[in-house]
A and B are shown apart, each in its own frame.
Chain A
Amino acid sequence: MSSKELDQAKAKWESQLSAPRAGCFTTLSDMEVPLLSTPADLEESGFDYMRDLGFPGEYPYTRGVQRNMYRGKLWTMRQFAGFASAEETNTRFKMLLANGQTGLSTAFDMPTLMGYDADSPRSIGEVGRCGVAVSSLEDMERLYDEIPLGEVTTSMTVNGPAIVLLAMYYAVAEKQGVPKDKVRGTIQNDILKEYIAQKEWLFPVKPAVELVIDTIEWGAKYYPGWNTVSISGYHIREAGATAVQELAFTLADGLAYVDACLARGMKVDDFAPRLSFFFDVHNDFFEEVAKFRAARRLWSKLMRERYQARDPRSWMLRTHAQTAGVSLTAQQPYNNIVRVSLQALAAIMGGTQSLHTNSMDETLSLPTDESVMIALRTQQIIAEESGVANVVDPFGGSYFMETLTTKIEKDAMAYIKKIDELGGMVKAIERGYPQAEIANSAYHFQRQLEAKEKVMVGVNKYWAPEPKRINTLTIDRSVEKRQIERLVALKKNRNPEACARALKNVEEAATNGTNLVGPITEAVKSYATLQEVCDTLRGVLGIYRETGSF
């Protein structure tokens, strides 16, 4: 059939359509959705199979980064966990591993994320609440006690003081006798998105980026199996960004790290293979699948064309995914299980390498053992019952999916160009550009909810009175007391001279601008605490303050 005949046939078919029901037919991020896509849509965008899709495991990786994807190896099921003390989190880690989870993911508490010890006045009421409290190497040793770090891959979600926690992890692995090249895992260590969205920062933007580059440089030399940065769209999306903004700002952050590494004199193919990504998976099924596909294609083009990377591993966008916390509702919390299932399915259709599924009770408190288990089982059901893991990129070639993928890629690239014009992401952040874009989107979405243009089931539609909802996890204040007592004992028992000397070396390296991973590793091994190291760095690098605009 010629394209003219197709147009005519479609026009005839359209003339016989009945009226649509009331409502907006757009994606969650307000992208127009056509009722029906045809080969004409692909033709209009100049779709070329080999150029735009190619084969899985080959440039431009639209269809996935491995040739046989989940038929070779299922995605890593990696539930983010951390609460109370190191021992309690260690117990949950072991429970998850015993139940078939295949990788660990560590959540730290707020004081740890901000570089404060449990005994700091800033830590009152926060110890062990949003994650596990780690103030020293001793806590890190307890956290991974009896977990073979040469066999399990570990992820750590920490950014501002990431370099310190990473040094602690390397030290624990060394104590376990694991060779450096067998230490595998990921540290989030994406400071740019902190200024943009998650807002857990310590130092001003430029020196903070240099700390990230220190870890990338060190990792490229000594820890070839470690992903030294997980460039994260998750928090950007959760803060209110659209799917396109999430993708664009995340890749722009990635480009900023690449630029900083190159400025340090590194060669792109020496570090780019260890850059990894982390995206949100929100409610809109097709938009999310398209986002993952567009992300891979766009990143590979940027790495190959903009930076002339030659190693195919530098072109690959490998990613972790997490279902969208903001999509969950406190109302009728069991409904969240269904939301998470659909989002998880989208991440799998999108070709993620690892996945965290949220627990149904996370809008109420940290999750209970029972709800975490349902979330893990959700992934196992998708993996082993639904049949979707048998086939690679089943949406490939879909008229609609390919059109949407191309649209998201194009719109994201327009944002990246805008950020280029601003002088790159560091400058854009200093001007508040991505922060303002996200705040605008968040407010717009909230207005749409108020106007019921967007629906949250059980909240602005199908609301029903509820008695007591579900049982939730509580963290009692004794955790804080215990943690402080331990710190006091630690400071009494360590060698004060060795500790002071090591901290002095950290200060000198920071002043001289030499790589800090080595000196910090020595400092944590002498049981200098997290805050002692961070305060030393604050003294040299300064602190970051944001003006409270809205």
Chain B
Amino acid sequence: MQSHKEQHSKIRVLVAKPGLDGHDRGAKVIARALRDAGYEVIYTGLHQTPEMIVNAAVQEDVQVLAISILSGAHNALVPEIITGLKKAGLTDALMLVGGIIPEDDIIALKDAGIHEIFTPGAGLQDIVNYIRDHAPKRD
């Protein structure tokens, strides 16, 4: 049994699937790996609008938002999520994107406020470690 304190200090992650594509293999594998690493993971399920994702992130007060997208709509949808989070006051969340993101778009998404982008071939452990090292602390 974990102590109350340990439970409280668990990193809370929202794994989100915006857009219309149904490629959820990556999102589910990451969600499970993060859970196995001891994080508290919430998965939105498929076909979410940016608004639905922002609402879920705020409601769950997550430290980490891990967006998985493989439909090519990242340039349109990801900035909308970032704007929505800011408006809603969730300003310190670590924002990650995973999926097929062309190199030129990586730069643009980082400029828009995404902290890190994981493309095909990224290691599970690297993602787990990145979150451990960069997630904001919460009381």
| A126 interface contact, C-beta 8 A | yes
Check B121–A330 contact: CB distance below 8 A: yes
Query: Can you name 20 A-B pairs with beta carbons within 8 Å?
Result: A114-B20, A114-B47, A116-B20, A122-B49, A129-B72, A199-B23, A239-B24, A240-B25, A240-B29, A330-B100, A330-B120, A363-B100, A439-B28, A442-B29, A450-B125, A459-B121, A477-B76, A546-B45, A546-B46, A550-B27
Q: Which A residues form the contact surface with B (CB < 8 A)?
A: 110-111, 113-114, 116, 121-126, 129-130, 194, 198-200, 238-240, 326, 329-331, 363-366, 439, 442-443, 446-447, 450, 456, 459-460, 468-469, 472, 474-475, 477, 545-550
| B33 interface contact, C-beta 8 A | yes
| B71 interface contact, C-beta 8 A | yes
Check B25–A129 contact: CB distance below 8 A: no
* Complex Cα spacing A331 to B15, Å: 25
* Complex Cα spacing A365 to B72, Å: 8
> Residues 106-126 of chain B: 1 if any A CB is under 8 Å from the residue's CB, otherwise 0?
000000000000011101110
B32 cross-chain contacts in A, Cβ below 8 A: 439, 443, 550
Q: Identify which of A130, A194, A365, A446 contacts B29 (C-beta below 8 A).
A: A446
* Complex Cα spacing A364 to B101, Å: 7
- Closest chain A residue to B126, Cβ basis: A450
| B38 interface contact, C-beta 8 A | no
> Residues 50-89 of chain B: 1 if any A CB is under 8 Å from the residue's CB, otherwise 0?
0000000000000000000001111111000000000000
Check B22–A194 contact: CB distance below 8 A: yes
- Closest chain B residue to A480, Cβ basis: B76
Complex A-B, nearest 9 residue pairs according to Cβ-Cβ distance, in ascending order: A125-B76, A199-B22, A548-B45, A125-B73, A129-B72, A110-B20, A550-B28, A550-B31, A330-B120
Tell me if A's interface is mostly helix, strand, loop or mixed: loop
Q: Which B residues form the contact surface with A (CB < 8 A)?
A: 15, 19-25, 27-29, 31-33, 35, 41, 43-47, 49, 71-77, 100, 102-103, 119-121, 123-125
Interface centre among B49, B77, B120 (most CB of A within 10 A): B120
* Complex Cα spacing A114 to B21, Å: 9
Check A113–B20 contact: CB distance below 8 A: yes
* Complex Cα spacing A468 to B102, Å: 11
A194 cross-chain contacts in B, Cβ below 8 A: 22
Check B22–A331 contact: CB distance below 8 A: no
Check B103–A468 contact: CB distance below 8 A: yes
B22 to chain A, nearest CB (A): 3
* Complex Cα spacing A155 to B22, Å: 21
A503 to chain B, nearest CB (A): 23
A469 cross-chain contacts in B, Cβ below 8 A: 103
* Complex Cα spacing A363 to B122, Å: 13
Known: A110-B20, A331-B121, A365-B100. A125 touches B77 (CB 8 A): yes
Interface contacts beyond A443-B28, A469-B103, A550-B32: sample of 13 additional A-B pairs, CB < 8 Å, sorted by A: A126-B19, A126-B72, A126-B76, A130-B21, A198-B22, A199-B46, A329-B120, A363-B100, A439-B28, A442-B29, A446-B124, A450-B124, A545-B45
Check A364–B72 contact: CB distance below 8 A: no
